[in-house]
Amino acid sequence: MKYLKSVGMENIHSHEKEILKYALEKMRGLEKEGLVILYGPEAETRGGAIPFNVVGVHAHDTAQILDSFGIAVRSGQHCAAPLVTSFGVTAMVRATFYLYNTKEEIDYMIDKIREVPKVFA
């Protein structure tokens, strides 16, 4: 708590919002290319998380491939099976952002998401 207070909760919140907005814009770009499917609302009304799937690749496979590049995302039903299945899928990948994440890391993640379908090509 001392550390968080020293950074400032408002600063943390605004950093998280900025990173999320940046990541969501980049992810929307991948979506337009037909590479990913995104779930959830626009940046203004969501927390620091982007659930998605790479088209044609199961969430677990995507997560493990991203893990091999040093990117930690969660995959599965996220203890929210009714919500996940309401989108017509059995599992999702979820990227979350916080104080320690940078825009460079988002660029790296976007770059590596492009690598995922190539494993199964």
Quick one: the chain helix, strand, coil %, rounded to 5? 55, 15, 30
Q: How far apart are CA 8 and CA 5, in angstroms?
A: 5
Give me the 44-63 binding string for other proteins, x by CB under 8 A, dash otherwise.
Answer: --------------xxxx--
| HEC per residue, 7-58 | HCHHHHHHHHHHHHHHHHHHHHHHHHCCCEEECCCCHHHCCCEEEEEECCCC
Q: Does 76 bind other proteins (CB under 8 A)?
A: yes
Whether 79 is catalytic is: yes
Q: Does 73 bind other proteins (CB under 8 A)?
A: no
Q: Which of 75, 93, 101, 109 binds other proteins (CB under 8 A)?
A: 75
Of 2, 79, 100, 118, the active-site residue reads: 79
Q: Which of 11, 14, 85, 86 binds other proteins (CB under 8 A)?
A: 85
Q: How far apart are CA 32 and CA 34, in angstroms?
A: 5
Closest approach of other proteins to the CB of residue 51, in Å: 13
Binding residues (CB under 8 A) for other proteins: these are 58-61, 64-65, 68, 75-77, 79, 81, 84-85, 90-91, 119-120
